[in-house]
Amino acid sequence: MIKAGIVGATGYTGSELLRILALHPDVEVSVVTSRSEAGKAVSDRFPHLRAYNDLKFTDPSIKILAECDVVFFATPHGVAQAMMPEFINSGLKVIDLSADFRLKDSDLWAKWYNQPHGCPELIEHAVYGLPEVNRATIKDANLIACPGCYPTAIQLGFLPLLENNLVDTSRLIADAKSGVSGAGRAANVSALLSECADSFKAYGASGHRHSPEIRQGLNGFSESEVSLTFVPHLVPMIRGIEATLYAELTSDLPLEKIQALYEKRYENEPFVDVMPLGSLPETRSVKGSNYCRIALHQQADSNTIIVLSVIDNLVKGASGQAVQNMNLMFGLDEQAGINQVPLMP
């Protein structure tokens, strides 16, 4: 059994890792750290894990974690950076779910996260953990920067359009909507049920931290420079991201041909589902699962292509994708532990 450690397991991505790994056939969680909860039983904090986890939270310590084969960071940005050199030097494989190693430009990182990057020397070393793009390099990596939730849904949605050079990349629009769990488990007034239930709003409309990550990703598979307008919104639901993507077609390929390119691109991807033309993917159709479902639309007399892309922000947008990366890094079945049917209704 592969021994896994989780740093910062009291948030949603941490508890979601615990849920997924509880039934993973090849992995055993052996260390779970939390400064604030050290000494307490995991199942006291997370009653849904009763019978599945009898660990106690411990203080994060390289000494204890070094006995693991893989360590997940489910921490706020800034935490993984500080500890990373020691972890990598000790030969651990690390999967970082935070934003710390996603951007290749440490100045850009510093600008968007309002602090200097704590470990610029390892940025190049980190592999961006989007298996549909970087599967080969993921297999050999020992430091994975797990993509953000919005960036996952949006990159997978745009990918075949850009790879095939089908659209004007100078004015891409991504209007994305997320459930509240994307805001994490911190005690913020704005995430109270009484504040965000039965309401809807845009946020970060003048600029959001995921924008540079998405642009960097899109530029990675686009011939021409990408200009993107990204506006996230808060949906009164727990899990799920829907991204509605708009691009101007420069090609005169009919939609059916573009659909075929999407299907071709993703035919061997276990977790990307290109739905039939005209489908309307619901976030609930991926709830609790690692799937990304995508559908294409075009309106009459319009050369704007509309791509709808849905994921579960805590699974394909975080912990499920982290496990998918782990499976690749350890040569396991890519679907091990994450072959779960979405929960509907």
User: Least Å distance between CB 140 and its own copies?
Assistant: 28
For residues 148 and 317, the answer to whether their CB atoms sit within 8 Å is yes
Q: Which residues contact 163 (CB under 8 A, 6 or more apart)?
A: 221, 222, 265
Q: Considering beta carbons, is residue 27 or 308 the nearer one to its own copies?
A: 308
Identify the helix (H) or strand (E) that includes residue 94: strand 93-96
Where do we find the tokens 């990408």? 226
State the distance between the two ends of the chain, measured CA to CA, in whole angstroms.
Answer: 34
User: Least Å distance between CB 19 and its own copies?
Assistant: 5
Residue 231: Cβ-neighbour burial (10 angstroms; 0-12, 13-18, 19+): middle
Residue 30: Cβ-neighbour burial (10 angstroms; 0-12, 13-18, 19+): middle
CA atoms within 13 A on the CB side of 275: 19
**Nearest CA to 214 among 257, 171, 174?**
174
User: Least Å distance between CB 265 and its own copies?
Assistant: 17
User: Least Å distance between CB 335 and its own copies?
Assistant: 10
Q: Considering beta carbons, is residue 283 or 324 the nearer one to its own copies?
A: 283
User: Least Å distance between CB 127 and its own copies?
Assistant: 27
State the catalytic residue, choosing from 68, 146, 149, 292.
149
How far is residue 42's CA from residue 188's CA, in Å, rounded to a whole number?
23
- Amino acid found at 328: L
Q: Considering beta carbons, is residue 89 or 194 the nearer one to its own copies?
A: 194
CA distance to 168, 171, 210, 227, 287, per residue, from 174 (Å)? 14, 10, 11, 11, 21
Write out the DSSP string of 68-88.
SSEEEE-S-TTHHHHHHHHHH
Q: Considering beta carbons, is residue 139 or 270 the nearer one to its own copies?
A: 270
Q: Considering beta carbons, is residue 107 or 200 the nearer one to its own copies?
A: 200
**Does residue 149 have an active-site annotation?**
yes
User: Least Å distance between CB 306 and its own copies?
Assistant: 6
Q: Considering beta carbons, is residue 45 or 139 the nearer one to its own copies?
A: 45
How far is residue 61's CA from residue 42's CA, in Å, rounded to a whole number?
17
- Which residues are known to be catalytic? 149
